[in-house]
Amino acid sequence: MRCLFAVATLSMLAASPVFASRVAIEVVDPAGKPIPDAVVTLAPNAGTPSRTTVPETRYVDQKDETFIPYVTALRVGDRVVFRNSDITRHHVYSFSALEKFEYMLAPGESSAPLEMKHAGNAAVGCNIHDYMLTYLYVTKDPEMAVTDAKGRATLDGLAAGQYTAHAWHPQLRPGITLPIQGVTLVEGTPGTLRFVLALLPNPRGPMDREHIGY
Protein backbone atom coordinates (compact mmCIF):
# COMPACT_ATOMS: atom_id res chain seq x y z
CA MET A 1 0.00 0.00 0.00
CA ARG A 2 2.85 2.41 0.85
CA CYS A 3 4.45 1.79 -2.55
CA LEU A 4 1.15 2.35 -4.33
CA PHE A 5 0.62 5.60 -2.38
CA ALA A 6 4.11 6.81 -3.26
CA VAL A 7 3.56 6.07 -6.96
CA ALA A 8 0.22 7.87 -6.91
CA THR A 9 1.74 10.89 -5.18
CA LEU A 10 4.57 11.12 -7.70
CA SER A 11 2.08 10.87 -10.56
CA MET A 12 0.03 13.72 -9.12
CA LEU A 13 3.11 15.89 -8.70
CA ALA A 14 4.22 15.17 -12.25
CA ALA A 15 0.79 16.16 -13.56
CA SER A 16 0.71 19.43 -11.60
CA PRO A 17 1.84 22.63 -13.36
CA VAL A 18 5.25 24.04 -12.48
CA PHE A 19 4.92 27.57 -11.12
CA ALA A 20 7.22 30.50 -11.74
CA SER A 21 7.76 33.04 -9.00
CA ARG A 22 6.37 36.24 -10.51
CA VAL A 23 6.14 38.73 -13.36
CA ALA A 24 7.31 42.29 -12.70
CA ILE A 25 5.31 44.86 -14.70
CA GLU A 26 6.19 48.45 -15.56
CA VAL A 27 4.05 50.90 -17.56
CA VAL A 28 5.39 54.31 -18.61
CA ASP A 29 4.62 57.08 -21.10
CA PRO A 30 6.90 57.91 -24.07
CA ALA A 31 8.94 60.24 -21.83
CA GLY A 32 9.49 57.49 -19.26
CA LYS A 33 7.04 58.89 -16.72
CA PRO A 34 5.28 56.17 -14.66
CA ILE A 35 1.64 55.53 -15.50
CA PRO A 36 -0.59 54.48 -12.61
CA ASP A 37 -3.98 52.77 -13.05
CA ALA A 38 -2.95 50.78 -16.13
CA VAL A 39 -4.41 47.28 -16.36
CA VAL A 40 -2.14 44.49 -17.59
CA THR A 41 -3.63 41.04 -18.24
CA LEU A 42 -2.00 37.75 -19.17
CA ALA A 43 -3.56 34.89 -21.12
CA PRO A 44 -1.72 31.54 -21.29
CA ASN A 45 -0.85 30.34 -24.78
CA ALA A 46 -1.68 26.83 -25.96
CA GLY A 47 0.18 24.28 -23.85
CA THR A 48 0.58 26.57 -20.83
CA PRO A 49 -1.58 25.62 -17.81
CA SER A 50 -4.25 28.16 -16.88
CA ARG A 51 -4.88 28.94 -13.24
CA THR A 52 -8.45 28.34 -12.04
CA THR A 53 -10.04 31.46 -10.61
CA VAL A 54 -13.16 31.94 -8.51
CA PRO A 55 -15.50 34.95 -8.76
CA GLU A 56 -14.62 37.83 -6.44
CA THR A 57 -16.43 40.93 -5.23
CA ARG A 58 -14.56 44.22 -5.62
CA TYR A 59 -15.47 47.60 -4.16
CA VAL A 60 -15.48 51.12 -5.56
CA ASP A 61 -15.76 53.74 -2.82
CA GLN A 62 -16.86 57.36 -3.01
CA LYS A 63 -15.01 59.60 -0.62
CA ASP A 64 -14.34 63.35 -0.73
CA GLU A 65 -16.45 63.36 -3.92
CA THR A 66 -13.93 61.07 -5.59
CA PHE A 67 -14.27 57.52 -6.87
CA ILE A 68 -11.61 55.27 -5.34
CA PRO A 69 -9.99 53.57 -7.14
CA TYR A 70 -9.89 55.34 -10.50
CA VAL A 71 -9.66 51.96 -12.30
CA THR A 72 -11.01 48.61 -11.13
CA ALA A 73 -9.95 45.42 -12.92
CA LEU A 74 -12.35 42.48 -12.87
CA ARG A 75 -12.70 39.08 -14.48
CA VAL A 76 -15.88 37.95 -16.19
CA GLY A 77 -18.06 36.63 -13.38
CA ASP A 78 -16.71 39.01 -10.74
CA ARG A 79 -19.04 41.44 -9.00
CA VAL A 80 -18.63 45.09 -8.10
CA VAL A 81 -20.19 47.02 -5.21
CA PHE A 82 -20.31 50.84 -5.04
CA ARG A 83 -20.07 52.38 -1.57
CA ASN A 84 -20.83 55.94 -0.48
CA SER A 85 -18.46 57.05 2.28
CA ASP A 86 -19.31 60.72 1.79
CA ILE A 87 -21.72 62.91 3.72
CA THR A 88 -23.57 63.76 0.50
CA ARG A 89 -25.80 61.72 -1.80
CA HIS A 90 -24.33 60.19 -4.99
CA HIS A 91 -26.05 58.96 -8.13
CA VAL A 92 -23.76 56.32 -9.68
CA TYR A 93 -24.50 55.44 -13.29
CA SER A 94 -23.13 54.03 -16.54
CA PHE A 95 -24.58 54.04 -20.05
CA SER A 96 -21.78 51.89 -21.46
CA ALA A 97 -22.30 48.97 -23.82
CA LEU A 98 -20.65 46.71 -21.25
CA GLU A 99 -23.27 47.32 -18.56
CA LYS A 100 -26.00 49.90 -18.03
CA PHE A 101 -26.91 50.66 -14.43
CA GLU A 102 -27.66 53.40 -11.92
CA TYR A 103 -27.70 53.53 -8.13
CA MET A 104 -28.89 56.38 -5.93
CA LEU A 105 -26.77 56.07 -2.78
CA ALA A 106 -27.36 58.02 0.41
CA PRO A 107 -24.42 58.58 2.79
CA GLY A 108 -23.26 55.27 4.19
CA GLU A 109 -25.17 53.17 1.65
CA SER A 110 -23.80 50.51 -0.73
CA SER A 111 -25.22 49.23 -4.00
CA ALA A 112 -26.30 45.68 -4.65
CA PRO A 113 -23.47 43.55 -6.11
CA LEU A 114 -23.36 43.92 -9.90
CA GLU A 115 -22.10 40.87 -11.81
CA MET A 116 -19.82 41.46 -14.80
CA LYS A 117 -21.07 39.05 -17.48
CA HIS A 118 -19.00 40.21 -20.44
CA ALA A 119 -15.48 41.45 -21.18
CA GLY A 120 -14.98 45.13 -21.96
CA ASN A 121 -14.75 48.47 -20.17
CA ALA A 122 -17.19 50.95 -18.74
CA ALA A 123 -16.96 54.59 -17.72
CA VAL A 124 -18.89 55.28 -14.51
CA GLY A 125 -19.93 58.72 -13.32
CA CYS A 126 -22.02 60.50 -10.72
CA ASN A 127 -25.12 62.21 -12.06
CA ILE A 128 -24.96 64.73 -9.20
CA HIS A 129 -21.22 65.51 -9.33
CA ASP A 130 -20.18 65.62 -13.00
CA TYR A 131 -16.46 65.77 -12.22
CA MET A 132 -16.49 62.31 -10.60
CA LEU A 133 -15.31 59.49 -12.87
CA THR A 134 -14.15 55.90 -12.54
CA TYR A 135 -13.64 52.97 -14.89
CA LEU A 136 -14.34 49.25 -14.81
CA TYR A 137 -12.18 46.96 -16.96
CA VAL A 138 -13.45 43.39 -17.36
CA THR A 139 -11.25 40.67 -18.86
CA LYS A 140 -11.52 36.99 -19.77
CA ASP A 141 -7.81 36.55 -19.01
CA PRO A 142 -7.08 34.67 -15.76
CA GLU A 143 -4.21 36.95 -14.70
CA MET A 144 -4.55 40.70 -14.18
CA ALA A 145 -2.92 43.54 -12.27
CA VAL A 146 -3.29 47.33 -11.95
CA THR A 147 -0.21 49.53 -11.75
CA ASP A 148 0.49 51.62 -8.66
CA ALA A 149 1.61 55.25 -8.41
CA LYS A 150 5.07 54.22 -9.66
CA GLY A 151 3.62 52.50 -12.73
CA ARG A 152 4.46 49.07 -11.36
CA ALA A 153 2.64 45.86 -10.53
CA THR A 154 3.44 42.19 -10.01
CA LEU A 155 1.74 38.89 -10.76
CA ASP A 156 2.72 35.94 -8.58
CA GLY A 157 2.43 32.16 -8.82
CA LEU A 158 2.00 31.78 -12.57
CA ALA A 159 2.67 28.49 -14.31
CA ALA A 160 5.85 28.29 -16.36
CA GLY A 161 5.15 28.68 -20.07
CA GLN A 162 4.25 31.24 -22.70
CA TYR A 163 1.74 34.06 -22.27
CA THR A 164 0.22 36.91 -24.24
CA ALA A 165 -0.01 40.17 -22.30
CA HIS A 166 -2.34 43.11 -22.99
CA ALA A 167 -2.23 46.60 -21.52
CA TRP A 168 -5.17 49.01 -21.12
CA HIS A 169 -5.70 52.47 -19.67
CA PRO A 170 -8.84 54.65 -19.80
CA GLN A 171 -6.85 57.50 -21.37
CA LEU A 172 -5.73 55.49 -24.39
CA ARG A 173 -7.07 56.92 -27.64
CA PRO A 174 -10.51 55.42 -28.41
CA GLY A 175 -10.44 52.65 -31.00
CA ILE A 176 -6.71 51.99 -30.62
CA THR A 177 -5.55 48.38 -30.77
CA LEU A 178 -4.46 47.36 -27.29
CA PRO A 179 -0.69 46.97 -26.90
CA ILE A 180 0.31 43.29 -26.90
CA GLN A 181 3.48 41.53 -25.78
CA GLY A 182 4.56 37.93 -25.46
CA VAL A 183 6.38 36.70 -22.37
CA THR A 184 7.93 33.32 -21.56
CA LEU A 185 8.15 32.29 -17.91
CA VAL A 186 10.73 29.79 -16.68
CA GLU A 187 10.40 27.92 -13.40
CA GLY A 188 11.76 29.98 -10.52
CA THR A 189 12.90 32.86 -12.73
CA PRO A 190 10.98 36.16 -12.53
CA GLY A 191 9.72 37.54 -15.85
CA THR A 192 9.41 41.19 -16.81
CA LEU A 193 6.96 43.22 -18.88
CA ARG A 194 7.33 46.87 -19.87
CA PHE A 195 4.66 48.77 -21.77
CA VAL A 196 4.98 52.30 -23.18
CA LEU A 197 1.58 54.00 -23.54
CA ALA A 198 0.73 57.38 -25.07
CA LEU A 199 -2.24 58.78 -23.15
CA LEU A 200 -4.79 61.49 -23.77
CA PRO A 201 -5.21 64.25 -21.12
CA ASN A 202 -6.84 63.35 -17.83
CA PRO A 203 -10.63 63.73 -18.25
CA ARG A 204 -11.34 64.17 -14.54
CA GLY A 205 -12.27 67.55 -13.16
CA PRO A 206 -10.42 69.62 -10.55
CA MET A 207 -12.44 68.16 -7.67
CA ASP A 208 -11.11 64.64 -8.27
CA ARG A 209 -8.18 64.71 -5.88
CA GLU A 210 -7.09 61.07 -5.96
CA HIS A 211 -4.37 61.65 -8.55
CA ILE A 212 -2.32 64.54 -9.83
CA GLY A 213 -0.88 64.60 -13.36
CA TYR A 214 -2.44 61.51 -14.94
Per the prediction, the chain carries an average pLDDT of 88
pLDDT digits 0-9 by tens, 155-209: 999 999 999 999 999 999 998 999 999 999 988 788 999 999 999 998 876 555 4
Q: Is the pLDDT of residue 21 over 60?
A: yes
Sheet of 90-95, strand order: 71-75, 133-139, 120-126, 90-95, 100-105
Q: 35 vs 70, 113, 176, 206, CA distance in Å?
A: 13, 29, 18, 19
pLDDT digits 0-9 by tens, 121-155: 999 999 999 899 999 999 999 999 999 999 999 99
pLDDT digits 0-9 by tens, 63-99: 999 999 999 999 999 999 999 999 999 999 999 999 9
Going along the chain from its start, the domains and CATH numbers come out as 19-51+142-201 (2.60.40.1120), 53-141 (2.60.40.420)
Question: Position 81: which residue type?
Answer: V
